[in-house]
């Protein structure tokens, strides 16, 4: 099974972003040396006061440190982008990584982002379907003439992918209609890290049925999880609790759960931390983490585990220790 590092690129107000860059580079270099096969970046706009640099320039900057690793966004909020821009951007990243680029895309959900870009939330899904069909033509055809519902193009790309055909496109989805869409138009389904194993079991069955229905084959079966490996189970839980609470309180404040506002005195998504983390996060020592991963693998049949091992507030030394332990578990 392949391991991937989902890089944390978010820091609270007051942090020096320039000082975080060498830390990210150190994490990527250690992950590569520890046998990680892929590197992934989140994508959001207008996150203030939470600080967050944009994923594509950051990925390009770290590409040399991640040489040989697959690199991609998890996920690029595609409906916010012009498909010509997105196609040229992905082709350039495919060039820079020597064909090791995967374009992970999703619909997005934050009203603030869509309002700022002037894109109605209700148009997210049809826009993304049209975008991907157009982008694949731009990557593979000498010249494209397209007159669609949202986009009009009569041109050829200035930069073509080095990957034969086109870069792989992985599509995120959180509900059944989106999961079926991922099977129909994507090369793999990207699972959000916040859903429980109980939710994912029937969703994986839905995805596999949809693949069969559409006569398609997934490139792989990735799973994204929050993960921390400590010297002991108790130490791991104590080390990452505050940072994970901060991260998911931010998600709640952005409307991901549709209920809470993410205040510190509100239980995460209406639950105490331990209850929320169960069957959702992978936290423990090396033995318990290996057992938990085996349980996910048996239940879902995943073959690529993408792990985020840092959240705002978790010190660099604990992040590096977690990466080392993961490399030892899966050596």
Q: How many domains does the chain have?
A: 1
- Answer yes or no: is 276 within a domain: no
Determine the Cα–Cα distance for residues 9 and 11; give it in Å rounded to an integer. 7
Half-sphere exposure (Cβ direction) of 97: Cα atoms closer than 13 Å: 29
Whether residue 144 contacts residue 153, with contact meaning beta carbons closer than 8 Å, is answered with yes
Left if phi > 0, otherwise alpha if psi is -120 to 50, otherwise beta: which for 213?
alpha
Tens-digit pLDDT string for the chain (331 aa): 899 999 999 998 888 999 999 999 999 999 999 999 999 999 999 998 889 999 999 999 999 999 999 999 999 999 999 999 999 999 999 999 999 999 999 999 999 999 999 999 999 999 999 999 999 999 999 999 999 999 999 999 999 999 888 999 999 999 999 999 999 999 999 999 888 999 999 999 999 999 999 999 999 999 999 999 999 999 998 999 888 888 887 776 665 544 333 333 334 556 777 788 888 899 999 999 999 999 999 999 999 999 999 998 899 999 999 999 999 999 8
Whether residue 26 contacts residue 329, with contact meaning beta carbons closer than 8 Å, is answered with no
Domain span including residue 27: 2-233+282-329
Return the number of other C-beta atoms located less than 10 Å from residue 264's C-beta. 8
- Answer yes or no: is 224 within a domain: yes
What does the pLDDT read at residue 331? 82
- Answer yes or no: is 312 within a domain: yes
What does the pLDDT read at residue 42? 95
- Answer yes or no: is 164 within a domain: yes
CATH number for position 178? 3.20.20.30
Provide the whole-model pTM.
0.92
- Answer yes or no: is 249 within a domain: no
- Answer yes or no: is 272 within a domain: no
- Answer yes or no: is 186 within a domain: yes
């Amino acid at each position: 099974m392949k391991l991937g590092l989902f890089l944390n690129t978010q820091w609270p107000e007051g942090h020096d972003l320039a000082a975080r860059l060498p830390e990210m580079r150190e994490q990527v270099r250690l992950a590569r040396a520890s046998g990680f096969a892929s590197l992934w970046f989140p994508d959001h706009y207008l996150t203030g006061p939470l600080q967050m640099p944009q994923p594509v320039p950051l990925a390009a900057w770290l590409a040399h440190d991640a040489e040989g690793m697959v690199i991609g966004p998890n996920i690029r909020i595609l409906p916010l982008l012009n498909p010509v821009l997105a196609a040229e951007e992905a082709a350039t990243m495919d060039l820079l990584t020597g064909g090791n680029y995967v374009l992970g895309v999703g619909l997005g959900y934050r009203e603030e982002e869509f309002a700022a870009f002037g894109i109605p939330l209700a148009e997210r899904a049809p826009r993304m379907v049209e975008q991907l069909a157009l982008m694949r033509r731009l990557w593979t055809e000498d010249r494209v003439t397209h007159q669609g519902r949202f986009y009009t193009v009569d041109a050829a790309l200035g930069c073509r992918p080095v990957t034969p055909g086109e870069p792989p496109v992985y599509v995120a989805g959180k509900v059944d209609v989106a999961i079926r869409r991922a099977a129909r138009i994507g090369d793999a389904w990207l699972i959000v890290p916040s859903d429980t194993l109980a939710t994912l079991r029937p969703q994986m069955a839905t995805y596999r049925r949809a693949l069969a229905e559409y006569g398609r084959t997934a490139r792989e079966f990735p799973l994204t999880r929050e993960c921390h490996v400590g010297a002991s189970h108790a130490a791991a839980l104590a080390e990452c609790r505050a940072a994970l609470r901060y991260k998911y309180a931010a998600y709640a404040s952005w409307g991901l759960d549709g209920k809470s506002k993410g205040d510190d005195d509100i239980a995460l998504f209406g639950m105490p931390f331990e209850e929320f983390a169960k069957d959702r996060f992978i936290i423990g020592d090396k033995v318990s983490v290996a057992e938990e991963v085996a349980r996910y693998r048996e239940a879902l049949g995943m073959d690529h585990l993408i792990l985020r091992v840092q959240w705002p507030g978790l010190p660099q030394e604990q992040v590096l220790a977690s990466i080392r332990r993961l490399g030892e578990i899966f050596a």
